[in-house]
Amino acid sequence: MRMLTLFLLLPAMALAQSTQTDAAVPANPAKTESKNQLVLPSGSKIPVALQLAISTKSAKEGDPVYAETTFPFLLNDKIVVPAGTYVQGRIARVQRAGHIKGRAEMLMHFTTLIYPDGYTVLLPGALDSVPGTEDTKMKDQEGTVQRESQKGKDAEKVVTAGTTGAGAGALIGALASRSSGGTLAGAGAGAALGVGLALFSRGADVRLEKGTTVEMIIQRDVSLDPIRVEASVKQAQARLAR
């Protein structure tokens, strides 16, 4: 009789145990975990202002880049990156303009966000646009900024140099020989020298002045600590309210 009773009770005990186990597990664990996560998504574009001037004339590979966010970045109507957040980066490649062809260009990467309270986040960031500059453009999606074409200006420079050189050469030739032949010879030599000097001078450099506004694009999702972000945003707002 006891064996029969135990046999009948086993299914009920198993069902009760299963019900207790299911009740201990959240209905939607993924949704519960997402409340404690904050992600700066890939493709986010954040305007920053350079804190130091950068030029292809003096910059070297590995040189640091310093910038600061100029406007709060919002996600779902909440500030994720407040204005005044520091941004660090580095120069990845520098190419000066050639003597006859080849334009100046520079590649930089952004690597770190430093919030107003010191909270630091590593990130992969690139230069997306340079709205605060003239005579420069973006060359590729890697973030290379390039000097605009100067074909018209180069031609003008050669003509001007040739004309100036011809005038100076003509004067020297006339004074040296005191004849029209000397004037013509001097003009030709001066023009050739002027053109030669113009052709062997370098093209214009890429120069981003201090305060130049550029746009940084986040290249991969970046996980943030929501508690640290919230505290930093409050600190930044309190500082602006003073």
Residues of the chain above pLDDT 90, percent: 48
pTM, 2 dp: 0.65
User: Which tokens sit at 129?
Assistant: 């646009």
Q: What is the C-alpha R_g of the chain? A: 33
Task: For CATH 2.40.128.260, list the domain ranges present in the chain.
Answer: 37-149+205-241
Q: For domain 37-149+205-241, is the CATH number 2.40.128.260?
A: yes
User: Which tokens sit at 208?
Assistant: 């981003």
Each residue of 33-68: pLDDT tens digit?
A: 355 789 999 999 999 999 999 999 999 999 999 999
Of 39-48, 84-93, 182-191, 224-233, the one with minimum mean pLDDT is 182-191
Q: How far is the CA of 166 from the CAs of 26, 116, 154, 171, in angstroms?
A: 88, 61, 18, 9
Report the amino acid identity of residue 24.
A
Distance CA 220, CA 34 (A): 18
Estimate to the nearest angstrom the gap between the alpha carbon of 199 and the chain centroid.
32
Distance CA 106, CA 103 (A): 10
End-to-end CA gap in the chain = 84
